Structure 1
Amino acid sequence: MKPMTRRKLLKGAGIAAGVIAVAGVGGAFALRRVMAPDTTPGPGEEGQTVALAQGQLKGTVHEGVHRFLGIPYAQAHERFVPADPSPAWDGVRDASAYGPMSPQGSMLGFSAGSQSGTDNDCQNLNVWTPGLDDAARPVMVWLHGGGFSTGTANDSSYDGEALSGAGDVVVVSVNHRLNVFGHLDLSAYGEKYARSANIGMDDIVLALRWVGENIRAFGGDPANVTVFGQSGGGAKVLALMSIPEARGLFQRGIVESGATQTVGEAFTSREASARLTQNLLAELQISEDDVEQLQSVDVSKLQSASTSALQKTADEFQIPAPLSSGYQMEWEPVVDGDFLPSGPVTEDGFAEAGREVPLLIGSNLNEWTVSPLGGSFVTETDELKAAVAEAYPNVESLTEDHVDTLIRPCILRIAAHKASRPEAPVFAYVMTNGTSSHGAEIPFVFRHSDNAQMSGLMSEAWVSFARGGAPAADGLPEWEPYTHEGGATMLLDTASTLAYHHDEKLLELLGANLSY
């Protein structure tokens, strides 16, 4: 019989990086709201001009890396409808400052915060490149965290200069519509809004098309594009791998801590989506015959009504809150049977649109277990202590209550389903270095950390995967693909090891659902 545990199992609908970034060493944490991120561009001198079909673009250069910020890839004239192609401009457009970001929504019980610098017309992206030649470098397109409700590509945490320069890759980050602006399902109210439930993902598809058409001007290879993201950004990668219209627009995907049971691994049902819209209209006292009024509702009023409607719908559908007791619903893509036929995990393995896309997927050992929001506790037993030591023999002072059971089981299920298909490999990891909380790997991937060893290791592995489809780095053992039989998972640390089915017994003892 399994021991009785008193662990709060953090299951549910939300992915929180971007709402609160948790960073810490030795148990000391800083909580950072990204509703007010540092979006000041880094230092730079006047750079070169590139010629695009839209017009000429002048960026800046710093430490040999060119940056072009706020480039429009499309233009949204109305809320909840597809964006149009970005118009051409006359003369030379300045690309030294970030563009607008999406209006920000509430998430995990936190208010939407300031709407400064936001706009429904937020379809812009940022590019960092080591050269404007024809070197055909790998392209790495970053999708920011914050679930599907908040966050921005303009956050200084995602500045691509160091990664671009060290890896000799072109880095792109994308702004797109979020929350009610990106995922309000108005499909029942006219053909105009047929795609409204997934308009935020439609924006990202448009951005990838822009990359395919324009990235050569920045020294990038349009036939070698990797989409990567953390938390909600990782879930966006999984959504793209499930969208037929995105097929062929990217060749590889990297998912960092990007799945819970109802976002990333799966997405919102049409039933819940339709009910959420009804609840929102009721909150705003707008009749179903007057949905056009939504075009002019004040942003703050719309976000406040959305928060109430999300909670009411969560209570009705009994959607478990991810980091607390009770129920909670967050904005996310909707499985509409057309634009998004399914989530990535399907009965016959993996979504058809992503079967030929190699995947690198993983999470951090501690994730939310060391956060004030996600603290959990377990009754210690000899069996659990032994299972922890067996799973992570090189992690000092690890206790059962600091082993993530929110994200890791979902990552395992996605990896297992991807591995069941022969078309492309999947590589799995767990990052165990230091206090490996939610988002702790981001400074390593972008080479922003003072920990040069981990920054070099993780950024090199990510670039290696983007360049050729297999992660590798100096100091890493050979990284084998995850298979049902082998269960290979790289434990990323200063002394990394490749483990095989290393934590399944531990996760089962902690009550995690490992059904594949």
Structure 2
Amino acid sequence: MKKLFLALGVCLMGSWAAQAQITLSKDVAVVPTESGQVRGYVHGGIYTYKGIPYAEANRFEAPHKPKAWTNVRSSLTYGPVAPLMNPTTQVQDESEFVFDHSWGYTNEDCMRVNVWTPGIKDGKKRPVMFWIHGGGFTAGSAEELKSYDGENLAKKGDVVVVSINHRLNILGYLDLSAYGEKYKYSANNSVMDMKAALEWVKANISQFGGDPNNVTIFGQSGGGAKVNTLMAMPSAKGLFHKAINQSGAFRGTMLEKSTTQAITAEVLKALNIPAEKVDSLQKLPFATLANAGNKALQTVAAQMKAAGKPVVGFGLSWGPSIDSELLPYQLFSDEAMKLSKDVPLMIGTVKNEFMPSLMTNMSNASAEEVEAYIKKTYGDKAEAFKAAVKKAYPADTKPSDLMDVDTRFRPGAVVQANMKSALNAAPVFMYLFTWQSPVMDGKYKSMHCFELPFCFNNIARCENMTGGGKEAYVLADKVSQAWINFARVGNPNHKGLPTWPAYNASATPTMHLDNACVVKPQLDKELFELTAN
């Protein structure tokens, strides 16, 4: 019996050893970069590097290459995230369970890059998938959601996944250009950071087994808006070759110089700082600066409304602005579209995005309660609204489905797809993610961010969001493969999906990503016309 237990123990130990997932040693996963050598680790066969500096900068100044280091730099954990204007100090228990954020730690020196790759020093040229996080232009980070982890995507597709942190909010967009040459680009320093990260990829990614001549930028929400911004940036042309915009076409208009300079004037006024002492802004505590920035945004927004001027997006906030050199064109202008006409684009949204039923505690509302909400919201257009929703989604049965169809994010995606496809240059592929999460009895439906675990093939990491069921794994296999194929050759088609035609404004073929994936024409045109204003 003793021999039997001993043999069983040896067998189990051998089995556990065979399943060992991580290799970490001073001589393993060491890669040279322009600034010095970095050491990562190997997990599940994927070489992983986190927190590598790609640039540095003084506050409000343009980024430049980081100082070189002589020793091998340990690169095992995520680097700092950009400070937040409104730090998170409390959360809603239920929704936090679903999203399961990782907030990280803040530091203004936050320009860091993370890399996941199947191989180093092997002579391969793998497609590079360059991820830009969401959070508008004011919040978020490369580690904020578990879905952002690049290991599974790198392993599944034999691709190199890259993600970045960069300056945000007032640190990335305060326009001090009128106050000295060193602040020349301060209104768009955040965009300059992203460009610097792409330049880092161009110079270094071959050392990580990646192809600098096959880079796909992709991002969701604010990250998708950043994708659009880079596509409209002349000096970023050639640093990437394909683009994926996920729920990020909601903001088509950048701020004008008159607005950004008015915001800056209000910041200085709130801080009682005269123009000749503007450099003192570089030494203020961030919280003091943030408070002044919040007040300035509110003041200028009120002034604009009083003057009858439109306030872009969801309200006046920090973000990219028109600059004659860096960003000379509005994002949806003919000039911007032509600048990126040869860049294949995949673009889409999720069915429910920001759901009114969640905001109003009406997830399980009765048909009568939903009817009253729609009538109050749409007035004499209520019946037409209901008819348009039912035409777009005839299979919906839950009363709150009538009020939860997105009309805020997808219209911009359709406009962008129509404009880009009309150039008859690089192809456009449109998707609509309609899969409904079973979590919390289906309360969260296909909400903003819910496609992310599927794109990254991260169902297991995101069970709180996806439920972790078999259907989720099956769909994630299809979705992640589409993203991989698009990054590889500019076309998302693969044998696991029905044929996915390139988009055009007349046939409007749109891939509905669900348990049963199917291509449909645009069915919500009347809905968007009805809710346009």
The two structures have a TM-score, normalised by structure 2, of: 0.81
Corresponding position of 1:278: 265
Change (3 A) 1:118 1:480: same
Corresponding position of 1:315: 302
Corresponding position of 1:362: 348
Per-residue deviation at 1:322?
A: 6.2
2:304/2:311 contact within 8 Å kept: no
SS at match of 1:217: helix
Rounded to whole Å, the distance in 2 between the matches of 1:374 and 1:160 is 35
Corresponding position of 2:18: none
Rounded to whole Å, the distance in 1 between the matches of 2:236 and 2:292 is 32
> Which runs of structure 2 are paired with 1:32-181 in the superposition (5 Å)?
44-46=22-24, 47-76=28-57, 78-106=58-86, 117-132=105-120, 133-155=122-144, 156-181=146-171
Per-residue deviation at 1:226?
A: 0.3
Corresponding position of 2:435: 433
The counterpart of 1:408, out of the listed 401, 410, 419, is: 410
1:385/1:399 contact within 8 Å kept: no
SS at match of 1:472: coil
1:475 aligns with 2:496: yes
The counterpart of 2:286, out of the listed 282, 299, 302, is: 299
1:225 aligns with 2:215: yes
Change (3 A) 1:349 1:198: closer
Rounded to whole Å, the distance in 2 between the matches of 1:208 and 1:421 is 26
Rounded to whole Å, the distance in 2 between the matches of 1:99 and 1:157 is 17
Rounded to whole Å, the distance in 1 between the matches of 2:525 and 2:147 is 33
Rounded to whole Å, the distance in 2 between the matches of 1:306 and 1:423 is 42
Number of residue pairs matched by the alignment: 459
Rounded to whole Å, the distance in 1 between the matches of 2:313 and 2:110 is 29
Deviates more, 1:387-396 or 1:459-468: 387-396
CA RMSD in angstroms comes to: 2.4
Structure 2, unaligned runs of 5 or more: 1-20, 92-101, 362-369, 376-380, 437-444, 460-467
SS at match of 1:61: strand
2:103/2:143 contact within 8 Å kept: no
Work out which of the two has the higher radius of gyration on C-alpha atoms and give 1 or 2: 2
Per-residue deviation at 1:150?
A: 0.8
The counterpart of 1:444, out of the listed 450, 454, 459, is: 454
Deviates more, 1:48-57 or 1:375-384: 375-384
Per-residue deviation at 1:266?
A: 1.8
Per-residue deviation at 1:383?
A: 4.7
Change (3 A) 1:385 1:106: same
Answer 1 or 2: which has greater strand percent.
1
Change (3 A) 1:349 1:391: farther
The residue identity in structure 2 corresponding to 1:251 is H
Change (3 A) 1:441 1:487: same
2:170/2:318 contact within 8 Å kept: yes
Change (3 A) 1:452 1:45: same
Corresponding position of 1:504: 525
Structure 1, unaligned runs of 5 or more: 1-42
Corresponding position of 1:289: 276
Deviates more, 1:374-383 or 1:475-484: 374-383
1:368/1:374 contact within 8 Å kept: no
2:357/2:403 contact within 8 Å kept: no
The residue identity in structure 1 corresponding to 2:481 is E
Which deviations, in whole Å up to 9, do the C-alpha atoms of 1:221-268 show, x marking residues without a partner? 1110000000000000000000001000000010110122xx3x2211
Which deviations, in whole Å up to 9, do the C-alpha atoms of 1:88-115 show, x marking residues without a partner? 211211111111221122399x99xx99
2:85/2:287 contact within 8 Å kept: no
Per-residue deviation at 1:120?
A: 2.2
2:51/2:77 contact within 8 Å kept: yes
Higher relative contact order (CA 8 A, sep 6+): 1
The residue identity in structure 2 corresponding to 1:54 is S
SS at match of 1:351: helix
